[in-house]
Every structure is written in C-alpha cells, then in structure tokens.
Amino acid sequence: MSDCITTNPTTLQADTLEEGAGFTYFVKVDSSVPRIRIEFSPPRTLDAIGSVDVVSVTPSGPDHGNDWVEFTTGHIGLTYTVQVSYTEPSQPERHRGGPLETPSRSPKFKPQNSCPSS
C-alpha cells in the first residue's frame, strides 16, 4: 500500500501514521513543486492538544524541525524513515508524577518525480 503526497504543505496526524514494510508515503517533487513540507499534527481532544517531535530522519539529508520534514528534488530515489514521537493530549500520569508515555511511529517516505500507478 502507499499514498502519494502532492500538496505543499501536507499535514499528517502523528498517531495515525502508517508504518511497516508494506507501506510507503510517496512524495511527488518536480520542477513545478520542487519541495514539499510534511507537518505532523499532534493528537487532540476537544479541550486539549498533545505534542509531537520529529526525532530523526534516516538516512540524513532532508531538513526537519520539531514537527515537520521537508523533501526536495535532491532527495529523489532514496527511501527515508522518519521517527515521530508524540504524547496524548491528556494523561493522568502527569498529575500523579508518573512517567509520560511517548509512543512513536516510523513511517517511510520516498520522494520521486511522479506518483506510482494505482
């Protein structure tokens, strides 16, 4: 399975990112859209927002910040694994002084100059 990202910027929900050997997010970058920034949105409820952190990008190359990664035409051909950690918006452990859970997801992104055929 795969998705093809063509819009700059694109927002993906951190806690629902697809991951695993059988799934890749393709990122279409070309002369008309030479860079695409993917922003990761934290989990949220009606009255609270969690947090998100881009921990690493492997292999190195794409620029990234706390909640985003950016692919350009210079990254075409490689598959990148982006480790994204997040916290849920409301965790009772915070009030009791317990550990804060920070689950993570490691989706794969592959920049290329066209979307794959369905």
The answer as to whether 117 is a domain residue is: no
Which residue range is the domain that position 61 belongs to? 2-112
Q: What is the pTM of this model?
A: 0.88
Structure tokens at 107: 């989706």
The answer as to whether 118 is a domain residue is: no
pLDDT at 92 over 60: no
Identify the band that residue 89 occupies on the pLDDT scale cut at 50, 70 and 90. confident
* Mean pLDDT, the chain, integer: 89
Sign of the dihedral defined by the CA atoms of residues 103, 78, 33, 3, in that order: negative
Report the amino acid identity of residue 3: D
Identify the band that residue 76 occupies on the pLDDT scale cut at 50, 70 and 90. very high
Q: How many domains does the chain have?
A: 1
Looking at the chain, how many residues does it have? 118
The answer as to whether 72 is a domain residue is: yes
Average pLDDT over residues 6-16: 95
pLDDT at 90 over 80: no
The answer as to whether 25 is a domain residue is: yes
The answer as to whether 101 is a domain residue is: yes
* Percent of the chain clearing pLDDT 90 (strictly above): 72
